[in-house]
Structure 1
Amino acid sequence: MLRRAAVAQEPLSHDDLTPASTAVGPNGGIVTHTPLRWRLAILTATVVAVAVGAVTLVTYWTVSSTLTASVDVELSQKSSLLIDRASEPLQLVHIGTEIERFKSYNPGSRLAVSPPGWTSSRGDNIRLGTDFNPVPGEYFSTFNTVGGERIIAVNNGFGTTVVLAHDMSSTRQLISTLGGILLFIAAMGILLAIAAGMVVATAGLSPLSRLQRAVDYVTRTDDLRPIAVAGTDELAQLTRSFNAMLETLQQSRTQQAQLVADAGHELKTPLTSMRTNIELIMMVNRPGVVNTMSDADLRDMERDVLAQMSELSTLIGDLVDLAREDAPERINEPVLLEETIASSIERVRRRRLDVDFQTDTLPWVLDGDAFAIGRATLNLLDNAAKWSPPDSTVRVRMTQIADDRIELSVADSGPGINEDDRERVFERFYRSPEARAMPGSGLGLAIVKQIIERHGGSIRIEESDDGGTDMRVELPGRPVADDVREPR
């Protein structure tokens, strides 16, 4: 079973460094066979590259904006001083000298000044590259970049205009140098991210590789021993879950082997006895053989054969029901428990006419398998009737113990069950010493417990009021009003 399951899945690649390949999936999509180690490394490198690239762009933009803003602040301060000096009447005579002096102290700058009332400007011919429309009486300034220069034009509202241009080549060179450094750092970061991704992927997938090798070993050798667990991380929890699966599989395999062995043993006993009786009957009826068996013995032997055939048929039916309960298919439908019990009582009453049944039931419905619930109630009632003495009464009572729980009691007047055997009677093929003289396969109560637990219930054994057995079954469900019950 484990081997077929392992083959049905696609195992991890033994060699994490095998070349990547692609194929078309069952839904038309592209399925990649890139090793998980490479995928983790590529994913890590991609995330780091995006982060480094974003930081690099933000840093470059921030530094570039900061440098440009610092140039603008410096130009604003200088233009304010220049426009104040240009507004003084005494400075108009020496305006040319002032311009040259300013340029000597500020290399790389150009200056043009237009005093109040002038229609022309003194200084450099500076092209603004934008419209300059000052409003009389209001301070007005504008910035622009033209031909590698940062230009500010200021008008104080009284006719004085100053145009100052600063060469941005040194600033741009600094920004370009910074961009190159940041690009180099980003490239190195991506390379380091790839290396770190490989290291992290190798270290992180090492326990997974060990788990995969252990799974391959289980698949190859069919050895269901648990896998060693190291640590407490998610992979350790995965290993524990896998060990739990192996334990469950081992238990299932053991139960299957035990079921086959017990079934073979139980089938062998009636078959051997029936074969012996049939051979004796055939020997007596052979031509020329003197019949030394009386008619009464012959009839007793024939009854034994029929009883053994009935026992064999019952055992085979129990095995089929047991296999049916082990099957994964489940039927889920509303089941009227009161009507199911009534139907089971009718069937048991036909087999035990000397036993009376006293019922005290409630309208109750649960969702489940109607056939299985009927089989469970039939087995419970049949077991109670089998152990009840003649002219006794089997008491069937339903009691609601919660809004969604009900208790079903099936009490008989038989010899009861010892406390040491009350748990073991639910085991498959187990029969107490007192029960071995009675017909049966030892599967009836095992089937009952399996059905009850599959439907979310439980079963326990207590002693009845008159010393017999009281089977107590708890089941989920809900009450049904009398006006909505189906007629029987």
Structure 2
Amino acid sequence: MDPRPVDRPGDGPVDRRWRYRRSLASRVTLLTTLAVGISVAFVALGAYVTVRMQMQSSLDESLMSRATQAAQAPAITDQETGSEIPAFRLVATDVRIGMMYADGKYVWYDRIGDPPRLGKAEVEVARDEAGSSIRTVRVDGSSYRVVAVPYREGEALLVAQSLEGQQQVLSKLGIVMLLFGVAGVIAAGAAGWGVAANGLRPVRRLTTEVEHIARTEDLRPLPVEGHDEIARLATAFNQTLAALAASRDRQRRLVADAGHELRTPLTSLRTNLDLLAQSDAASTASALPAAARAELLDDVRAQIEEMTTLIGDLVELARDEPLTHVIATVDLVEVLDNAVARVRRRAPGVSVEVWAQPWFVVGEQGALERAITNLLDNAAKWSPEGGTIRVTLVDGELTVDDEGPGIAEADLPHVFERFWRSEESRSMPGSGLGLSIVQQVASRHSGDVEAGRAPTGGARLVMRLPGAPTPPPDAPGEATP
């Protein structure tokens, strides 16, 4: 049993990819709403704090001004009694008036409600240790803003005002901001949904068309409108469709051409085998002569060899992929020597002249040897009896010249096509896949191949492979998988 935990929905941290199960439109709407909500919250908080600080500052300036003026104003004489009335007793009734003494005792001249309790800050003003003080004092749930200014020696005048009115204003402001913030978030959500619905319409249309292609395998290109990201995505998808269509066409041609090429040797092989079977079943008098029987068997062997070569070529062409096999640093001169030795055994009537400089390629040795052998086999097939094949390898450019009739100009564009054979070569052995394999191997090794006319009048085939005249210093000594 696998001991690893199984992810289940609702398991908290385990279910951490929930957001990818949401639609793109819902994610855009959610992100837009969150962004606007956070912005509205910051703006509302900033406005609230700014208004609160401004109201607090205005109140402090007003209280300090009134307290200072009251403390400095001369006493007023009562016309009826002739007694003096301190000026601070005439301060408006919206504030509370008190007196703080140097010994820490204080008195409030009104008896309305619970008076604010004072402390060290006001005592310091009474003792002339501080020029003034202003602070907020809470009493039984009520808040007061208390100002203390010097009055007479050992005394400080107290002025206190309740903050209830200010708090009511701030509460109403908070409610208004909350309502507007909620409305803004709702409007942002609706706007985000509208933007997502309209902005993602091309994506939905593209998705529908891609699903149609996947369902019907109709590889016609998609219509592209505009120059935005969706248009670039559709263009890139059209390129993928074109590559897929080309690959499918190549596969169909390969299957069709392979079936066509296999039909002839199979038919001939079946005919020869039927003749041999009939000969074995016939009487001694009507049996095939030994020479005819041997000729039929040789023909069968040749056809089997031709089919084996054809099947091997088809398998090689089917490997239309990057290098995934055994890769190593390959000595191209050594590979060329092996290919030349093999061709000399196959075509003893043709001489091969080789002039090569050292060249090392990182790649697959077997594939490179097969490609070079195919080039030499092609040259040997077209060379006359006693002809010479000239092979040169200079700076990674392998040139093979023969003394045959050469390649017609009209045939040059088709030389490396699969199963393509010129009119002159259709009566000769071969499947028409050899040079296609050369082109594929060169392409897989980041090289190229081209055909032309040799100075001697024959064909010239050139294969170029990137590499270096010396092996790289970190090259492995042996092939590594």
TM-score by length of 2: 0.82
* TM-aligned CA distance change 1:111 to 1:370, over 3 Å: farther
Query: Quick check: 370-379 or 184-193, which moved more?
Result: 370-379
Q: 1:421 aligns with which of 411, 419, 443?
A: 411
Distance in 2 between the 1:295 and 1:443 partners? Answer: 36
1:189-236: CA deviations, max 9, x gaps?
111122112212211222222222223322332322223333332222
In structure 2, do the counterparts of structure 1 residues 431 and 196 end up closer, same or farther at CA, with 3 Å as the change threshold? Answer: same
- How far apart are the structure 2 equivalents of 1:135 and 1:381? 116
| C-alpha contact (below 8 Å) 2:321/2:444 kept by paired residues | no
Which residue type is aligned with residue 314 of structure 1? T
Match of 2:94 among 108, 112, 120: 108
Task: State the distance in 1 between where 2:351 and 2:69 align.
Answer: 121
Displacement of 1:28 in angstroms is: 6.9
Distance 1:377 1:153, change over 3 A: farther
Q: Does 1:256 align with 2:251?
A: yes
- Residue pairs, 1:58-207, within 5 angstroms: 58-83=46-71, 85=72, 91=75, 96-101=85-90, 103-104=91-92, 107-112=93-98, 127-129=117-119, 131-132=121-122, 133=124, 140-147=131-138, 148-155=143-150, 161-207=156-202
The offset of 1:409, in angstroms, is: 1.8
1:312 and 2:307 equivalent? yes
Question: Are 2:438 and 1:448 aligned?
Answer: yes
Give the conservation status (yes or no) of the 8 Å contact 2:102–2:127.
no
Secondary structure of 2:432's aligned partner: coil
The aligned counterpart of 2:358 is: 363
Amino acid at match of 1:442: G
The answer on 1:53 being equivalent to 2:45 is no
Q: Which residue of 1 aligns with 2:31?
A: 43
Superposed displacement of residue 269, structure 1: 0.8
Q: Partners of 2:462 and 2:85 in 1: how far apart?
A: 116
Q: Which amino acid aligns with 2:251?
A: Q
Secondary structure at the aligned position of 2:455 is classed as coil
- What displacement does 1:171 show? 1.7
Letter in 2 for 1:368: G
How do 1:347-362 and structure 2 match up within 5 A?
347-362=342-357
- What are the Cα deviations for residues 102-137 of structure 1, in whole angstroms up to 9, with x where unaligned? x22xx4223345799999778567533554435988
Residues 128 and 144 of structure 1 are in contact (CA less than 8 Å); yes or no, is this contact kept in structure 2?
A: no
Q: Secondary structure at the match of 1:231?
A: coil
Q: 1:139 to 1:310 in 2, by over 3 A?
A: same
* Aligned equivalent of 2:203, options 203, 208, 219: 208
Output aligned runs, 1:311-390, within 5 Å.
311-326=306-321, 329-390=324-385
| C-alpha distance in 1 between matches for 2:157 and 2:68 | 9
Are residues 156 and 416 of structure 1, via their aligned partners in 2, closer, same or farther at CA, if it must alter by over 3 Å?
A: farther
Q: Cα gap change, 1:336/1:67 in structure 2, threshold over 3 Å: closer, same or farther?
A: farther
In structure 2, what is the equivalent of residue 403 of structure 1? none
Q: Secondary structure at the match of 2:214?
A: helix
Structure 2 counterpart of 1:418, which letter? Answer: A
Distance of 2:472 and 2:321 partners within structure 1: 35
Residues 325 and 345 of structure 1, relative CA distance in 2, 3 Å threshold:
farther
RMSD over aligned CA atoms reads 3.6
Is the contact between residue 140 and residue 156 of structure 1 (CA under 8 Å) also seen in structure 2? no
Q: Which residue of 1 aligns with 2:458?
A: 468
Write the letter of the residue equivalent to 1:378: T
Report the number of matched residues: 454
Is residue 380–residue 448 contact of structure 1 (8 Å, CA) maintained in 2?
Answer: yes
Q: Secondary structure at the match of 2:158?
A: strand
3-state SS, counterpart of residue 432 of structure 1? coil
How far has the Cα of 1:35 moved from its partner? 3.6
Greater shift, 225-234 or 262-271, is seen at: 225-234
Q: CA offsets, 1:62-87, max 9 Å, x none?
A: 2212221222233344444445x16x
Q: CA deviation at 1:180?
A: 0.7
* 2:393 aligned counterpart, secondary structure: strand
Write the mapping of 1:277-292 to structure 2, written as runs, cut at 5 A.
277-288=272-283, 290-291=285-286
Deviation at 1:58, TM superposition (A): 1.9
Structure-2 separation of matches of 1:95 and 1:399: 124
Q: Deviations over 1:246-279 (max 9, x none)?
A: 2222222221111111000000011112222333
Give the TM-score taking structure 1 as reference length: 0.81
Displacement of 1:238: 2.0
Q: Is the 8 A contact 2:70 2:87 kept in 1?
A: no
**Within the alignment, does 1:436 sit opposite 2:437 as a pair?**
no
Structure 1's 376 and 460: CA in aligned 2 closer, same or farther, altered over 3 A? same
Is 1:220 the counterpart of 2:215? The answer is: yes
C-alpha displacement of 1:184:
0.3
Report the CA distance between 1:95 and its aligned residue: 7.8
Structure 1 unpaired stretches of 5+? 1-20, 401-405
Aligned-partner residue type, residue 94 of structure 2? G
- By how many angstroms is 1:465 displaced? 2.1
Work out the percentage of aligned pairs sharing the same amino acid: 37
More displaced stretch, 292-301 vs 445-454:
292-301
* Helix, strand or coil at the partner of 2:336: helix
Shift of 1:335: 2.5
Could you tell me whether the CA contact under 8 Å between 2:388 and 2:403 is conserved in 1?
yes
